[in-house]
Amino acid sequence: MVSNGGVFWRNSLLDSSAEDWDKMQAINSRGMFLCYKIIGAASVAGKQGSAGFPAYCASKFAVIGLTQSVAKELGPYGITVNAYAPGAVDTPMLANSFSDQKVESEMWAKASPLGRLGTPEDVAGLVAFLASKDASWITAKDLGPYGITVNAYAPGAVNTPMLTNSFSDPRDNSEKWANASPLGRLGTPEDVAGLVAFLASKDASWITGALTRPVALITGSAQGMGRAIALRLAGDGFDIGLNDLSGKREALDKLAEEIRAGGKKAAVAPADVSNEGSVKGMVENVVNDLGSLDVMVSNAGVFWWNNLLDTSAEDWDKMQAVNSRGMFLCYKYAAKQMVSQGRGGRLESNIFTPHEIIGAASGAGKQGFEGRSAYCASKFAVVGLTQTADLGPYGITVNAYAPGAVNTPMLTNSFSDPKAASEMWAKATPLGRLGTPEDIAGLVAFLVSKDASWITGNICILSRVTSIKLGALTRPVALITGSTQGIGRAIALRLAGDGFDIGLNDLSGKREALDKLAEEIRAGGKKVAVAPADVSNEGSVKGMVENVVNDLGSLDVMVSNAGVFWWNNLLDTSAEDWDKMQAVNSRGMFLCYKYAAKQMVSQGHGGRIIGAASVAGRQGIEGSSAYSASKFAVVGLTQTAAKDLGPYGITVNAYAPGVVYTPMFTNSFSDPNVASETWVKATSLGRLGSPEDVAGLVAFLASKDASWITGQTYGVNGGMLCH
């Protein structure tokens, strides 16, 4: 079954009608669901949001979620489920989408590394491979073509000497890995060879990346996460609009009284978020009662278990109506109100009025889960919508939070034995506990703060647990590498302002700048230790950590920020250049993670490790092959270190800056002003980042509000790349 039918048209979020949304979802995602009931048509727009077609992107993200979930359900029957995700292909659909086909075709061709549009035959070659015996061990994938001919294959557990030599009991572990595969078996070397043969063939030739209190409206706020978010934002100084279904009016009124008792205003606006008139009225009622709308938290959602074969079209429609259509309607009418207010973004002043739309995605909107095909598809749609809601020019940021297993009524009502289920999900986290609604509220509070003013189009995951205690009876200690200038300096000053004693590191040749920064921090009443070191040298890193602990008493937060960058394409990169880049950016990160973790484990009260990734570590950038590889390595190291260190109460996360105006940036271009203008155009928010933008994210990751976040890499890039 090749489920290829689909429709496409351009429309921004503000110009998309509910009817447009429904038609796009009906064919592109609901139609895919019905056909699956097994190769499906996703799209490059289902991997990375793009301005001007939110409904299309959401529908194609839904296809990816559906594909991943159904693959797990149907694997035991020997059925593989994959999707192909074409880029710009020269078809009537493309031609009919533009007023000037020639100009638009040239534009899209230039956006491809291969310098041409794809052809239908390019895509057909991939489908032919997926339908062949060579793809018999490939399932739950969403594959290009994107116009790239540099590829990698990423095998799972393959029955090779390397696998058997990795375990004391190869047979037992082979059975475990086989059970972890939807297809119920280990791969063979021939499975992998089939993919490599395809990638080397002609069929793969196009496969190759306000002066009053601000007002926040929270949907689904009668209980659980919505209630916690409402209370947290009220505590942070917001007046609150409360929404849920009319049948929950009593709970809403009770929560409103609790908020008013704390000195804030509250407006109660019952509504069904799947109904367009109801959502429009909800926004109008909140604005009439409270005067404006500055933050929309679209939290309402529904969930139930059902595998693909047992899911009726009615079940599918209901899930999509609330979880994806409802999100679209809340985004749309909140955005219309914010645009009409005309305040143009965030006010960096004592009275801070943000403009923020925040949606509830889910861990199931990042990875398909067995038994949740409709739910996963609906939450993948939220991811696509969040990335493509084209509101940056109005100063409106759009992000989503993606919780894991949180101890809420929705979770407990989903199982016949809630206690057993809770224990099972707790064991699935590195640090052994369920999340709380307050964990989620902490992230939402960060996303509406001034510290998140350059973060948009992000899906922020909370799916790992920690019980960290920063510091003991003294002030906590943070060590920042590469701290004499730019981002590192801003992080050191911010954490000192947040109450940390600070360890400062950079190369010994920058000692004067380190000492000057140390004096600035000491003038603010904090202790400082200066520890010059080369992070690529193991003995040097070990000594750096020891020196900071000897001077300040402990190590609670390690910010591994040091890094190097220069432009060089692959052909002009020498082995020496490669080695130097990896030595500092990836080996140095490993050493800092390792020796910080050893110290934190010995202290016995957990800790935070935070590393510097990059936008180039999430999406390869032309002319930076060695740098991108080193930063992709940071993302992988961060994810695995989080699992290794979770049992010790240590969280491990990374920040991935876009183009930030620092000495590293200005030194990378012959004309920094021209470069700045070019890179500004690549952001949704229309400006370069500042070191303080990044420092705000790091401060959040080091705070108690990030206590249930680990293994994540968060973008802070002004919407340059949405993840």
* Domain ranges within the chain, ordered by starting residue: 2-204, 215-462, 477-708
pLDDT surpasses 70 at 172: yes
pLDDT confidence of residue 349:
18
Q: Which residues contact 264 (CB under 8 A, 6 or more apart)?
A: 213, 234, 237, 238, 239, 240
Domains 2-204 and 477-708 share a fold: yes
Average pLDDT of span 153-166: 76
Nearest Cα residue to 49 out of 375, 373, 398, 331: 398
What pLDDT, on a 0 to 100 scale, did the predictor assign at position 358? 62
User: Rounded to an integer, what distance in angstroms lies between the CA atom of residue 113 and that of residue 94?
Assistant: 19
For 474-513, the pLDDT digits (tens) are 689 999 999 999 999 999 999 999 999 999 999 999 999 9
Taking only the tens place, the pLDDT of each residue in 514-527 is: 999 999 999 999 99
Is 146 an annotated catalytic residue? Answer: no
Q: Please write the tens of the pLDDT for every residue from 648-681.
A: 999 999 999 988 887 877 787 778 787 778 777 8
Which overall architecture, per CATH, does domain 477-708 show?
Answer: 3-Layer(aba) Sandwich (3.40)
The first and second tokens of residue 293, run together, are: 């709308």
> Mind listing the pLDDT tens digit for each residue in 342-365?
873 222 212 233 345 566 555 554
User: What does the pLDDT look like over 373-385, one tens digit per residue?
Assistant: 677 778 777 777 7
Closest CA to 41 of 66, 12, 15, 71: 66
Q: Is the pTM of this model over 0.75?
A: no
What pLDDT, on a 0 to 100 scale, did the predictor assign at position 674? Answer: 77
Q: How confident is the model at residue 469 (pLDDT cuts 50, 70, 90)?
A: very low
Calpha distance 191→132 (Å, rounded) = 11
Percent of the residues in the chain that have a pLDDT greater than 70, as a whole number: 79
- Per-residue pLDDT tens digits for 248-270: 999 999 999 999 999 999 999 99
pLDDT at 473 over 70: no
Choose the weakest-confidence range: 279-293, 406-420, 625-639.
406-420
User: How far from the centroid of its chain's Cα atoms is residue 354's Cα?
Assistant: 21
Give the architecture-level CATH label for domain 2-204: 3-Layer(aba) Sandwich (3.40)
Most distant pair of Cα atoms in the chain: their distance: 69
**What is the spatial distance between Cα 422 and Cα 360, in angstroms, rounded to a whole number?**
21
Q: Which residues contact 484 (CB under 8 A, 6 or more apart)?
A: 504, 506, 510, 513, 514, 517
| Residue 240 backbone phi and psi in degrees, to 5 | -125, 130
Q: What is the CATH number that goes with domain 215-462? A: 3.40.50.720
Active-site residue, selected from the candidate residues 631, 648, 655, 714: 631
Identify whether 318 is a catalytic site residue: no
Active-site option among 36, 146, 331, 627: 627
Q: Is pLDDT at 140 greater than 60 in this prediction?
A: no
